[in-house]
Amino acid sequence: MNNILGIGSDIIEVDRIKKSIDKHGDHFLTRLFSPDEIKYCFEHKHPEIRVAGRFAAKEAVAKALGTGFGKKLQWNDFKILNTSSGKPEVFFQEKILAEMKNVNVLITISHCEKYAVAFALRVS
């Protein structure tokens, strides 16, 4: 049985993300997301909705880890990709895996036209 070591959630307005993409373009996207994440988002009709979902998910993961974003954890230290069935999964860079024990995080992402929300559980 898994033990819950941390929980995180985040909600964001899709319009806020759209404005950031429109204003800052690639600089905004590449600072926060991997090329694979960006590709996934822009394969869909309204990429800003998918970007907002990934943004919320990354915030939720940072909260579940108990670090937030800063010196210990950067936006590109992990990526969120979907399995062939559509399930989102978290993939950490080797340096994070080496620094943190029990770094296994489960996530879920939901979105509509106005909001994206994500929940993350750090489990052992």
Q: Is 24 a catalytic residue?
A: no
Q: Which fold has domain 4-123?
A: Ribosomal Protein L22; Chain A (3.90.470)
- For this structure, is 46 an active site residue? no
Question: How far is the C-alpha of 49 from the C-alpha of 62, rounded, in Å?
Answer: 20
Residue 122 contacts residue 6 (beta carbons within 8 Å)? yes
pLDDT, tens digit (0-9, with 9 covering 90-100), for 27-71 = 999 999 999 999 999 999 999 999 999 999 999 999 999 989 998
Q: What is the pTM of this model?
A: 0.93
The catalytic position among 18, 44, 72, 111 is 111
95-118 average pLDDT score: 92
Catalytic residue among 63, 71, 72, 95: 63
**Taking Cα atoms as reference points, which of 20, 40, 37, 31 lies closest to residue 69?**
31
Q: How far is 14 from 117, CA to CA, in rounded Å?
A: 10
The per-residue pLDDT for range 69-105, each reduced to its tens digit, is 998 899 999 999 999 999 999 999 998 888 887 689 9
